[in-house]
């Protein structure tokens, strides 16, 4: 079994966080594929998966370039192997058991009602602040900062950008993970401990809202666990 990581960047230059992530993954025995200076995350991930050409049992990670793994090599590899069972689709650190009609996975009203799952550290100015969404377990969709699945799962999904999506960088995570769920795979919010060096400002951009509206138009919502 091999483990691959696809890291997509918008520029040719790597930040310190990205350089450290690449180094860390390589030290953990992961084959890292850098998709630099990309114009579309959909095209980049589709191309990256083709380059990896994973076998059914191989693990392919698709992750942001601004994360830090907060686990030892042994802990990280064990968590991936333990969580990616035969019926499991995609795993990640955070997601929800119900994607409402607004198609916002972190919806605060659903959060208050205990629909969300997982845990993520977020980097603040001088400290790491943990965000606990809920207990770990099965979900319908996951946040895209870190997505991992076996080769046979990724190969059953359509990674292409839907023609309805006007933005090249938005809503890929909800599109990919909802596909896996609707195909009968069991997505999981798993104990993959990460620190995200971002506060999520990109959610406010027009392309995010355009893709969200497109997803709402093309998908029967809500999507819930039965």
Q: Which fold has domain 3-224?
A: Spore Coat Polysaccharide Biosynthesis Protein SpsA; Chain A (3.90.550)
Q: H helices of the chain, where?
A: 16-27, 41-52, 73-83, 108-112, 151-154, 172-182, 206-218
Output the tens digit of pLDDT for each of the chain's 226 residues. Answer: 999 999 999 999 999 999 999 999 999 999 999 999 999 999 999 999 999 999 999 999 999 999 999 999 999 999 999 999 999 999 999 999 999 999 999 999 999 999 999 999 998 766 778 999 999 999 999 999 999 999 999 999 999 999 999 999 999 999 999 999 999 999 999 999 999 997 555 555 789 999 999 999 999 999 999 8
Residues 6 or more apart in contact with residue 32 via CB below 8 angstroms = 4, 5, 7, 22, 25, 26
pTM tops 0.85: yes
* 167-to-4, 19, 30, 124, 163 alpha-carbon distances in Å: 26, 27, 30, 28, 10
Q: Distance between CA atoms of 202 and 60, rounded to whole angstroms?
A: 25
Domain boundaries in the chain? 3-224
């Amino acid at each position: 079994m091999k483990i691959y990581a696809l890291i997509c960047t918008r520029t040719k230059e790597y930040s310190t966080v990205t350089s450290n992530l690449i180094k860390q993954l390589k030290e953990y025995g992961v084959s890292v594929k850098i998709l630099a200076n990309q114009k579309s995350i959909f095209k980049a991930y589709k191309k990256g998966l083709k380059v990896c050409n994973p076998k059914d049992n191989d693990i392919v990670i698709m992750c942001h370039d601004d994360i830090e793994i907060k686990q030892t090599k042994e802990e990280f590899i064990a968590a991936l192997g333990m969580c990616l069972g035969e019926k499991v689709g995609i795993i990640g650190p955070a997601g929800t058991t119900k994607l409402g009609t607004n198609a916002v996975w972190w919806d605060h009203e659903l959060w208050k009602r205990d629909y969300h799952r997982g845990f993520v550290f977020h980097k603040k100015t001088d400290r790491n602040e943990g965000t606990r969404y809920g207990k770990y377990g099965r979900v319908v969709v996951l946040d895209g900062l870190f997505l991992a699945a076996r080769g046979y799962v990724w190969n059953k999904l359509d990674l292409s950008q839907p023609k309805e999506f006007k933005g090249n960088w938005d809503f890929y995570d909800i599109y990919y993970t909802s596909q896996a769920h609707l195909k009968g795979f069991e997505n999981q919010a798993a104990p993959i401990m990460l620190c995200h060096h971002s506060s999520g400002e990109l959610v406010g951009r027009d392309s995010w809202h355009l893709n969200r509206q497109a997803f709402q138009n093309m998908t029967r919502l809500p999507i819930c666990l039965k």
